[in-house]
A and B are shown apart, each in its own frame.
Chain A
Amino acid sequence: MANLSITAACNRSCAYCFAGRERSAEAGHMPEETFVAALDFLVRSDIDEARLLGGEPTLHPDFVRFGDLALDRGLKVLVFSNGLAPERALSWLANAPQGRVSVLLNADPSESSQHRAMARLGPRLALGVNIDRPAFAPELLLDLVGQYGLAPTIRFGLAHPIVGGRNARLHPRQFTSVGHRLAAFAPQARACGVTLSFDCGFVPCMFPSGFFTEFGESRECLGQRCSPVLDILPDENVVACYPLAALHRERLTAESTATDLRARFSEHFRGWREVGITPVCDGCAWRRRGSCTGGCIATAIQRSNGLQSLEQSEAVGLAAASRTWSPRDTSHHTTHEAASPRRDATRPVPPGETVKAGRTSGKQWSVPYIDQPVDFWERLHAEFGDEIGDVYFPLPASVIASGRPPQPSAFLDDFLRRCTLPRAVLLNPIVLPQRVDALIPRIVETLRRLMGDCGVTSATVSSYQLAVGIRDRLPQLPLTASTLMDVSQPNQAMLLDGICDTLVPSSRVMRDLPALRALRAAFRGRIRLIVNEGCLSGCPFRTQHFYEMTSGTDFPASLCDDLLRRHPWLRLTGSWVLPQHLRLLENVVDEWKLAGRVTLRDPVVYRRTLRAYVTRTPLGPHEIGGGPASLVAPMHIEEDFFLRTLHCGRHCHRCSVCRDYWPY
């Protein structure tokens, strides 16, 4: 098997697309002489099928001619298409010899324009789907198979990460959820006469034990599908697969055979086989028996440390093309004990992929839900794309309170069903209303539903006990320790090891650079910093304020009002960072969070504020949303002053810098 990527052009922009920068305009269309050389390669390698890939292969201006050339060589043709094919290509596909040309359509049930190809191609066309979130609805595909008389098979793939790229991908923590969903779907498919097949990267442990009896394929077979498939690019370079394209390439020559190239790629990436896609892969019985190769290599690489510089990785990887391998060194093997997961590798911007002018360097934003129609979120998605890591929203108060007064939720259901941005749920009451044991079943049931039906991808939790309970029952759900957990010291951060994946530090240290550094050193997960929080560092009223908000009393006046009247300069010590000063905290933060479920309710203000932070457009402290101790009048904050407050340790009793700086 080998894929011929005949064009970089595509007329869709799927968030999970594996092709990444191979889809850049420079890669262009494959010239005919390269295509002929690729056909020679297939014949020389005893491969009987030309698998045409893109981009969208039907957009190649010579697609029809290429198809004829492949048929003339006695090859079958399989086209991987998004279904949005030009008429000429569609006509050729519809009239090509039956049994020799087929199409695997990358289905998106919400994309009605794909139906044209389904209607025209009928049984020549099979559906495939790439799963990039635990909540997916394969049942819709059965309807399409029946409606258009499509080939009775559905091919499932997993969205794997592009090494060094930024595509949407399925995290291994979500694999079990996906496996169980597929297992539940298999009997329905069988009842409709539809068989399921699986692409690379699936691992046996993600499926429930009875699944393989039902499905008919052995676990062993499924767990060994991460071999170099070979993608021949338009420029005659060959890569093991798109996700690994940045690390190693070979050149297609007149002597190349698939066996030789596969051997070279296998050798190059063999070390990564030892790593596995999760920290527990090394103790896995499937793996010890040789029934699983440890999953997708790109996923394994993604969880390793320090792919900080793709340029460096490329240089190292490409230089290794001709080196030989030595056997695995296990001489240091001694006793085993548990290890904690480490911080995920950062996701650098690959060369050739430009950051939009003025944008942040790849750190994502967690942004608040405000009650707006789905159109608002789609516009936000279009404008900010991958810059938005998730949109967070509270669980209904009937399940657990959210640390804020009840908020409008007229559009929440629609948002959960239709929004294409990743969504995260908040469970952050300041105090739990019951014992965790009593609360947890209802919470877990709600979370399961949100993950399954609405694709919720993470949860933020304010209680350590609650986090432990959720982690035990839903290990696949990434957890964030809320700022309300009040973690400000390294010893506290250490307690979260293995429980929470992300930490939002306490407001005490949001503007304390040494303290943030210490937290980062102590915590193995990611640090997310709130940028527009307005609370005073260590505010004595904070707990009472949150209690009053959560308990349903009237929206309380800020309890710090009197304090701020007496010492107005304290507003300068609040826990906020202006867009123009984010860079001063860049090195201690992995991602940013915009607060403002209440203060940014106005959609115009919301977008303006988010845009300013993402593009680092200067704002005054009165313009950022913020909380009760925010500045309310315009004021220019000089960088020198702000920098000083990042290191001062809040010794306000013996310091007059902020008092002197206060202009009113």
Chain B
Amino acid sequence: MRLRPADHVRWAVNRSGVTLVDMRSGRAFVLAYPDAAVWDLLTRDGDAGRLTAKIARIADIDVERASRLVSDLTQRLRVEGLLASENPHG
């Protein structure tokens, strides 16, 4: 599963995290760290598996915890319509 920011989302990196703006609704979402770091990595490489492994290494946490961190955030973002997913084979 590959994830990517939805087409209507813009974001800017701030000192305390990342602010996402949904261009359709005008809503702003502020992600503090570590969620901001997940977003940052996600925008570079949307592969969920690799993303989890990276977070585990960077934050020095076990893969299970990293996986929870990633899945919690991506779930929330998808509910808000801020993330799109694509099947690399399809």
Q: Which residues of A contact B17 (CB under 8 A)?
A: 282, 333, 336, 339
* Contact status B23-A317, CB under 8 Å: yes
Are B30 and A333 in contact, CB atoms less than 8 angstroms apart?
yes
Query: Which of B21, B23, B25, B36 interacts with A339 by CB under 8 Å?
Result: B36
A282 near B14: Cβ-Cβ < 8 Å? yes
Asked if A269 is at the interface of the complex by the 8 Å CB criterion, the answer is yes
A333's partner among B12, B21, B32 (CB-CB below 8 A) is B32
Residues of chain A whose beta carbon lies under 8 Å from any beta carbon of chain B: 267-276, 279-283, 300-301, 303-307, 312-313, 316-317, 319-320, 323-326, 328-330, 332-342, 521
A304 neighbours in B (Cβ, 8 Å): 10-12, 21
> Is there contact, CB below 8 Å, between A334 and B34?
yes
B26 and A320 contact, CB distance less than 8 A: yes
Query: Could you tell me if B15 and A280 are in contact, using CB atoms closer than 8 angstroms?
Result: yes
Given A304-B12, A320-B24, check contact A334 B35 (CB 8 Å): yes
B89 interface residue (CB < 8 Å to A): no
Complex: chain A residue closest to B43, CB-CB: A305
A303 and B19 alpha carbons, distance in the complex (Å)? 12
How many angstroms from the CA of A339 to the CA of B29 in the assembled complex? 17
B:43-81 near A, CB below 8 Å: 43-44, 73, 76, 80
Query: Which chain B residues border A274 with CB–CB below 8 Å?
Result: 19, 21, 28, 30
B side interface size, CB within 8 A: 34
How far, in whole Å, are A286 and B13 apart by their CA atoms in the complex?
Answer: 19
Contact check, B21 vs A272: say whether CB atoms are below 8 A apart: yes
Give every chain B residue within 8 A of A312 (Cβ-Cβ). Answer: 7
Contact between B27 and A271, CB atoms less than 8 A apart: yes
Q: Is B22 a contact partner of A271 (Cβ separation < 8 A)?
A: yes
Judge whether B27 and A325 touch: CB under 8 Å.
yes
Q: Report which of B5, B23, B26 forms a contact with A270, defined as CB distance below 8 A.
A: B26
Q: For B5, list chain A residues within 8 Å (CB).
A: 306
The distance in angstroms between the C-alpha atoms of A330 and B76, with both chains bound, is: 12
**What are 16 A-B residue pairs whose CB atoms fall within 8 Å in the complex?**
A268-B26, A269-B26, A279-B14, A282-B15, A283-B14, A283-B15, A304-B12, A304-B21, A305-B12, A307-B10, A329-B30, A332-B30, A334-B34, A336-B33, A337-B16, A342-B13
Q: A301-B10, A340-B13, A342-B13 are in contact. List 18 more A-B contacts (CB 8 A).
A: A271-B25, A275-B19, A275-B21, A279-B15, A280-B14, A282-B14, A282-B17, A282-B30, A319-B24, A320-B23, A328-B30, A329-B29, A329-B30, A332-B29, A333-B17, A333-B30, A334-B32, A339-B36
Question: Taking each of A301, A306, A332, A337, which has the highest tally of chain B beta carbons within 10 Å of its own beta carbon?
Answer: A332
Q: A305–B10 contact, CB under 8 A?
A: yes
Which has the most chain A C-beta neighbours within 10 Å: B11, B13, B31, B34?
B13
User: In the complex, what's the smallest C-beta–C-beta distance from B84 to chain A, in angstroms?
Assistant: 13
**Contact in complex: B11, A305 (CB < 8 Å):** yes
> Which of the residues A275, A316, A335 comes within 8 Å of B8, measured between beta carbons?
A316
Contact B23 A313 (CB under 8 A): yes
Q: Kindly provide the distance from the CB of B63 to the nearest chain A CB, expressed in whole angstroms.
A: 21
Given B8, B16, B26, which contacts A336 in the complex, CB threshold below 8 Å? B16
Any A CB within 8 A of the CB of B42: no
**Which chain B residue has the least Cβ–Cβ distance from A335?**
B33
A518 to B8, CA, bound (A): 27
Whether A332 lies near B76 (C-beta < 8 A) is yes
